[in-house]
Structure 1
Amino acid sequence: MYRILCVERNRQVREIASYMAGSRLKNFIIHAHADYSSDILRLIRSEGISLVLLNIRDAHTPGMRVCEQIRQGSSVPIILLGGSGDFGLARQALLYNVSDYLTDPVNPAELGGSLEAVRRVLASAGRPAAAERDYADQDYAEFSLQKEPPSPCPIVSTIKQYVDEQLHHNITLKRISDSLNFNCAYLGQKFKQQEKMSFNEYLLRQRMEKAKLLLETTDMKIYEIADAVGYSEIDWFYKKFREYTGTSANEYRKQCFITA
């Protein structure tokens, strides 16, 4: 079995374990609990811990400090639970090379998918589970981990969030990769692998879909819409919009009014 260390802010609170209450996860067992003041590195080494579930709900800053402390002496996989949608926090988590970053409220199915992804990494690194799972007690509810799709790559989710928040600015994958201290080519590969399209294709789609929405629902001028979706040159916006929709922005708006 792969051993899980659950780290909570408060030793008396067992929120992480509650996500899996009544479940016995294939290849994983909750081996130990700790709080933020524990000697976590010693526990990881002495107890043969394969995965740390770190609950940062309502404790984002101290939780990140714990993550940093772990990384000072161990590369053990870490799954962060209870995070926020804050881009800066997600970026900080990525710098600590966490395996996944699950925002609050944590969905048990998403957690199951994250565990399965970690299991595959551990197995590929030559660290098989120590023993087969005991099937004697079938009364417990179970996560069907192998049936769950792999959880989304956290860095791709961070890139998409950045695009949503900065759509009106000049966005490039190079600029994002520099801000995250990641290799641009690596980010491009990870993004295409998950989204089945390149970053530039995704960015164009997001801009054009927002432009369509603004044309349909507002009386903004075309140049205002172009600026709102990141185009400082109106001619370039016109060109990309026609390529994307097959019609001009003005004609698209007229069609919306006719069909309304």
Structure 2
Amino acid sequence: MYKLLIIDDEPQILEGMKRILDWKQYGFSRIDTCESTEAAMSMVVDVQPDVAIFDVCIGKNLGYEAIYRLNELQIPTKYVIMSGYSEFTYAQEAIRCGVKDYLLKPVDRTKLQRVIEKIIVEDLHGTIGHARNESLNKDPVLGVSYDSLSKLLNRILLMIKTEYTQNITLKSIAERFQMNSTYLGQLFLKESEMKFSEYLMAYRMLLAQERIQASDEKISSIALSVGYNNLNYFYMHFHSYFGKSPSDLRGKG
């Protein structure tokens, strides 16, 4: 029913944004991504997405400048800006060009959910009753509501969901929080009842499972897309988690 366009010059952010919400539950049947403002402007003109989410800085260009130019064409797309910067100037310019909201990275799932629901109801005149089912607000690995988890754990889970393709570690996250990695690991384990490494592996495995069952993409490509550079390591983890090989899961061996 709806079309979505996400623009960011970092591929891992694009992948994370495609998975941060269950877009199909909200009626988005088409999701496109772009890594430059030039490509984004052409896509908006050609496809006319219902919603476009722009990063504020795309290479040397600014997302809101592209939105200004698109507004001149009177295309009815609704825009949201996301940014790693909380600078007032950026937010001010975003408001001036009529964006629906300005979200800071890492994008908070609940805030994005509220923005999208508001756009669907107020601007697209749709309904969201079916989208508010319980599973949308549950973590796929832990099986519990995000609302029941601490703010710290939610932030860590968001980082994993947007950076799982990279070499993300407990140590690298602890450095960003300026915390001791051992202490942070203990907090993670106490609240989630899983080690950080176990959660990261489980999340990657669930994504791999989804892609294996939904496509004929090569297993090596899928392994790389979920953060495994070593294919043997991927097979070992996969068999350990599911008790079968990727080809068995796909029903081809």
Same fold (TM over 0.5): no
TM interval, short-chain normalised: 0.3 to 0.5
Larger radius of gyration: 1
Richer in helix (by share): 2
What is the TM-score normalised by the length of structure 2? 0.44
